[in-house]
Structures are given as structure tokens and as C-alpha cells.
Amino acid sequence: MELRQVRCFVAVAEELHFRRAAERLAMAQAALSHQVRLLEEEMGCALLFRTTRQVSLTAAGIAFLAEGRRLLEQAEQVLRVTRAAAGAGGSLRIGGIDQALVAVLPPVLARLHAETPELRITLTEGSSSEQEADLVRHRIDLAFLRPPVSDDGLACTRLFDEPFVAAVPEGLAAEAGSLPSWSWLAGQPLIGYPRHSRPLLHDLTMRQFAARGCRPQPVQEVTEKLTMLQLVGQGIGIALVPRWLARFAMPGVAFRPLPEAAALLSFGMAWRRGDPSPALAAVRDAVLWHRPAA
């Protein structure tokens, strides 16, 4: 039995709704259902009644819910006690790409601040290649970047993958439809990424069009994604951006999923192998605890 399975069951049991529970845990509904079924198989009994209209707890599910909550609380306590014993105070220098600083780290840092207020963390933003170089040169202690890393002295853990979405001007949202075709996207002016400064994003964008036999119409290249979305909002063109940006409302911008299995972007964290820092271990543990179950 794994903690992620318990976490999934408790979310469903409290929400009594698989979609809401999946949204709460920031994971796919199918993956959530799979984790609950694995738990039921290991327990040897059904924990939930499922119909097309509702979800309810079996007698075993009611009993397990109380114990599952207690188990999750105990796991949290284990982390707190271990960090305290290891002296998880001190300082840590963290580097991150924009996604890390805006969408991934804030809840992690809030939890760390509440549990270990003596831990001092400094944050810097940089590209994946810049962070890898900073790790090697001991300028930062932990990096949040796009895997993989190339230096053998670094360890790297992939945390999750996410797709691209299309950012289109609101004036074209109806024309684009709920799932714009690649031919429609290729027929629009494209705001893209310069290859010299954003090689991964540039190549993935171009590759997605080429794989469908389409040729995009570049009209502008920009390095920063916020600038890109501002230009989309002004009606200058469309853009393909990582899905995390769709969380934020941008004036004049509509987000649409991409058809067919679009390319995925990996997100992970890296550090120097053998680094004994308790603060580093504490932050890594907190990040893994918040990672969505896959």
C-alpha cells in the first residue's frame, strides 16, 4: 500500500466525486481511479460503491477513511520530526525556470515556511542550461528545470510531464473551435521562440507542425512567455505555450488544447550528487510530497 493510493482514496471519499477529487489532487481522473482500484485490490475488498451518477462509501470504505486520514497525518509528522532531528534549518539557494517560480514552488515554500521558519531560501530565475551551470559552480543548491541534465555530477528527478496548448486571440476563439486543427493553426501568424535562447521550445513547436505536414507562418519571435501572451492578446498571432500558463487569465487570450497527442514538456529538479545538506533533503521531500500522483 502506497501513500499516494491512500491520498487518492481519501480525496475521493471526501469529495464523493472522482472528477472533483482529481482536480483537487491536480491529476488525471483515469490515473486517480487506477490508484484507488490498486488500493482496493491490495485490501481485498471494495471501498467505494460506484454508479454512473454517484459515488458512496462501503462499510469497509468508511472504516478505511478514518484510518487513511490518520495514516496521512502520521506521515506528515514523520517528515516534520525527521527534518527537525536533521537540523533542516540553515539556508538553501534555489534556481528555477519561470514555471517553477510561478506555478510549482509557491505551495511548497508556504508549507516549508510554516514547518521550518528558520530555513532561509533564496530564489533566482534562469534557463535550464543556466541552472545546470550554476549547480556545477556551486552558485545554487537545487534547480527546477527541463530534464535531462548532462553533467554526471548532478542527480535529476523528473516530476511530471505536460503538453502544449494553443493561445489564440479571443477574436479568433470561435473560429478556432474547441479543438483547433493543425491546418487552421498553421494558417495563422505564429508568435514563436528564438532558437538561440529557447532551443527546446523552438524545436518542439516547429516539430509539432512538421509532424502533421504543416508549415507555420512565423510573424514574431520573443523570449519571454508573458510577452508572447501579451502579443497574442493584441491579435498579432497565435502561440503554442506550456499548459501551466492557461491557469492565468490574460486579457484578449483564449487557450485551446491541441489535437492529437501533442509534444510533452518534462519538468524536474536537479542537485549535486552527494550533497549532505539537510535543508536540501527537506525541500526535496516537500516537493515530492506535493507532486501529483501519476
**26: confidence class by pLDDT, cuts 50, 70, 90:** confident
Topology annotation, domain 161-265: D-Maltodextrin-Binding Protein; domain 2 (3.40.190)
Q: What is the mean pLDDT of the chain?
A: 88
The 3-class secondary structure across 3-57, one letter per residue, is HHHHHHHHHHHHHCCHHHHHHHHCCCHHHHHHHHHHHHHHHCCCCEEECCCCEEE
Residue predicted with more confidence, 262 or 148: 148
Cβ atoms of 256 and 178 within 8 Å: the answer is yes
The CATH code belonging to domain 89-160+266-290 is 3.40.190.10
pLDDT in tens, 194-249: 998 888 899 999 999 999 999 999 999 999 999 999 999 999 999 999 999 998 88
Would you list the domain boundaries of the chain? 3-84, 89-160+266-290, 161-265
Pairing relationship of beta strands 119-125 and 253-257 according to DSSP bridges: unpaired
**293: confidence class by pLDDT, cuts 50, 70, 90:** very low
All residues at 6 or more sequence positions from 196 whose CB lies less than 8 Å from its CB, including other chains: none
52 exposure class (CB count in 10 Å sphere: 0-12, 13-18, 19+): exposed
Cell, residue 64: 478505511
> Which residue in 153, 163, 125 sits closest to 246, CA to CA?
163
pLDDT in tens, 274-287: 888 888 888 888 88
| Percent of the chain surpassing pLDDT 90 | 55
pLDDT at 291: 66
pLDDT at 248: 85
pLDDT at 294: 42
Cα dihedral: 165, 166, 168, 174 (round 10): -90
Query: 89-160+266-290 and 161-265 share one CATH topology?
Result: yes
Q: Where are the alpha helices (DSSP H) in 26-163?
A: 29-43, 59-86, 98-99, 105-115, 128-136
pLDDT at 285: 86
pLDDT at 229: 96
276 exposure class (CB count in 10 Å sphere: 0-12, 13-18, 19+): exposed
pLDDT in tens, 151-177: 999 999 999 988 999 999 999 999 999
pLDDT in tens, 52-67: 778 899 999 899 999 9
Q: Can you tell me the distance from the alpha carbon of 116 to that of 278, in angstroms, rounded to the nearest whole number?
A: 12
Asked if pLDDT for residue 270 goes beyond 60, the answer is yes
**108: confidence class by pLDDT, cuts 50, 70, 90:** confident
Topology annotation, domain 3-84: Arc Repressor Mutant, subunit A (1.10.10)
Place of cell 554526471: 152
* pTM assigned to the model: 0.66
> Which residue in 257, 99, 264 sits closest to 165, CA to CA?
257
Cβ atoms of 267 and 244 within 8 Å: the answer is no
Asked if pLDDT for residue 89 goes beyond 60, the answer is no
pLDDT at 65: 92
